[in-house]
């Protein structure tokens, strides 16, 4: 059970969001900056995401009438403007996902701010507005990241894991929602096989790999919760895997009381409930720690 389930619109039992992190080849460039330019295999594996995966995913969303969230490093947006345009044309959301997938915990505060704000400027130039949401590359948000999000008026983060359902993070400077991901419905563990960046995962079959996400959905559905897939177009957007997702989506949309929405829309719904006083959201107060724990 969930202690404080959120009442969803139209009596839906579960809010659902498929979030795609469109990293493309940013991963190899940030990992191997000296020679990535000439590593054609990982570049091509990444390029598959925005050029082949995203159009396939968008076609399914159009057919089923779904509006969803994508997270893109700004460098990737600049390299693949057609993918950005296609996502926006269909009314989906694009969230902040770093400049070139840099890991915030590996940067100084000044470096993190520089990369964050450089990416923000790309979002404003290419989408016409500041993004509402953020997901840290490899979920590696630190306190400086949360402070930057609050400073720049972000509505939500989607990197941290302190609950099953959305909650609020509060600091002395302000607050924002957390739309919590989890590795259980992330496609990296079952599908990523990427020696160059240190992943040698045993690749699961499409149905076996996706079963983890779908079982997470069943538990959330039963509890009246929030289910979110954290997937990558170059992994789950591939032909056989997306075929499994498509069939699952068709069935869930037709037979279950679900609310598929972008994270931005889900945050706006919760905002309305909180403002109306009809829902008490759980709060996590940050920072958790201000010095090394020993």
Candidate ranges 13-21, 142-150, 180-188, 282-290; the one touching Zn ion (CB under 5 A): 13-21
Shortest Å distance, C-beta 154 to Zn ion: 17
CA dihedral 154, 21, 123, 37 (to 10 degrees): 140
Between 21 and 157, name the residue whose CB sits nearer to Zn ion: 21
Between 179 and 258, name the residue whose CB sits nearer to Zn ion: 179
Between 225 and 237, name the residue whose CB sits nearer to Zn ion: 237
Bridge partners of 106, per DSSP, are none
Between 135 and 269, name the residue whose CB sits nearer to Zn ion: 135
Query: Distance between CA 19 and CA 277 in Å, rounded?
Result: 29
Q: Compute the half-sphere exposure of residue 67: CA atoms within 13 Å on the CB side of its CA.
A: 13
CB-based contacts of 91, cutoff 8 Å, min separation 6:
67
Between 23 and 147, name the residue whose CB sits nearer to Zn ion: 23
Between 21 and 164, name the residue whose CB sits nearer to Zn ion: 21
State how far the alpha carbon of 202 is from the alpha carbons of 46, 189, 195, 245, in Å: 19, 9, 12, 20
Bridge partners of 169, per DSSP, are 176, 284
The torsion angles phi and psi of 14, rounded to 5 degrees, stand at -150, 135
Shortest Å distance, C-beta 137 to Zn ion: 5
Is residue 21 near Zn ion by the rule CB under 5 A?
yes
Q: How many helices (H) and strands (E) does the chain have?
A: 11, 12
Shortest Å distance, C-beta 18 to Zn ion: 15
End-to-end CA gap in the chain = 35
Query: Distance between CA 156 and CA 17 in Å, rounded?
Result: 14
Task: Name the residue with the smallest CB distance to Zn ion.
Answer: 21
Candidate ranges 23-31, 154-162, 236-244, 274-282; the one touching Zn ion (CB under 5 A): 23-31
Candidate ranges 15-23, 154-162, 169-177, 235-243; the one touching Zn ion (CB under 5 A): 15-23
Query: Distance between CA 71 and CA 102 in Å, rounded?
Result: 14
Is residue 264 near Zn ion by the rule CB under 5 A?
no
Candidate ranges 17-25, 37-45, 105-113, 164-172; the one touching Zn ion (CB under 5 A): 17-25
Which residue from 14, 15, 20, 23 is in contact with Zn ion, where contact means CB under 5 A?
A: 23
Query: Distance between CA 130 and CA 267 in Å, rounded?
Result: 16
Is residue 186 near Zn ion by the rule CB under 5 A?
no
Candidate ranges 18-26, 123-131, 208-216, 239-247; the one touching Zn ion (CB under 5 A): 18-26
Between 23 and 186, name the residue whose CB sits nearer to Zn ion: 23
Shortest Å distance, C-beta 23 to Zn ion: 4
For residue 23, the SS3 value is coil
Residues found near Zn ion in the complex (CB under 5 A): 21, 23
């Amino acid at each position: 059970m969930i202690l404080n389930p959120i009442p969803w619109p139209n009596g839906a039992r579960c809010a659902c969001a498929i979030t795609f992190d469109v990293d493309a080849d940013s991963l190899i460039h940030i990992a191997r900056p000296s020679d990535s330019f000439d590593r054609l295999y990982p570049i091509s594996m990444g390029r598959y995401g925005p050029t082949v995966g995203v159009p396939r995913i968008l076609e399914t969303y159009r057919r089923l009438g779904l509006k969803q969230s994508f997270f893109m490093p700004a460098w990737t947006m600049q390299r693949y403007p057609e993918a950005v345009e296609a996502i926006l044309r269909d009314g989906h959301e694009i969230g902040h996902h770093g400049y070139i997938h840099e890991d915030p915990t590996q940067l100084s505060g000044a470096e993190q701010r520089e990369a964050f704000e450089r990416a923000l400027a790309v979002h404003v130039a290419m989408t016409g507005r500041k993004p509402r949401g953020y997901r840290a590359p490899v979920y590696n948000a630190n306190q400086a990241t949360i402070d930057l999000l609050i400073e720049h008026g972000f509505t939500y983060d989607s990197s941290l894991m302190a609950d099953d359902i959305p909650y609020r993070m509060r600091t002395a400077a302000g607050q924002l929602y957390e739309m919590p991901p989890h590795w259980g419905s992330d496609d990296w563990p079952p599908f990523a096989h990427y020696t160059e960046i240190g992943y040698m995962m045993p690749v699961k079959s499409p149905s076996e790999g996706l079963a983890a996400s779908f079982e997470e959905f069943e538990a959330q559905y039963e509890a009246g919760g929030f289910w979110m897939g954290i997937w990558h177009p170059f992994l789950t957007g591939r032909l056989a895997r997306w075929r499994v997702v498509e069939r699952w989506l068709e069935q869930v949309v037709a037979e279950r009381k679900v609310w598929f929405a972008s994270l931005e829309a889900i945050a706006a719904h919760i905002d309305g409930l909180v403002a109306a006083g009809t829902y008490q959201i759980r709060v996590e107060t940050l920072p958790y720690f201000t010095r090394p724990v020993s």
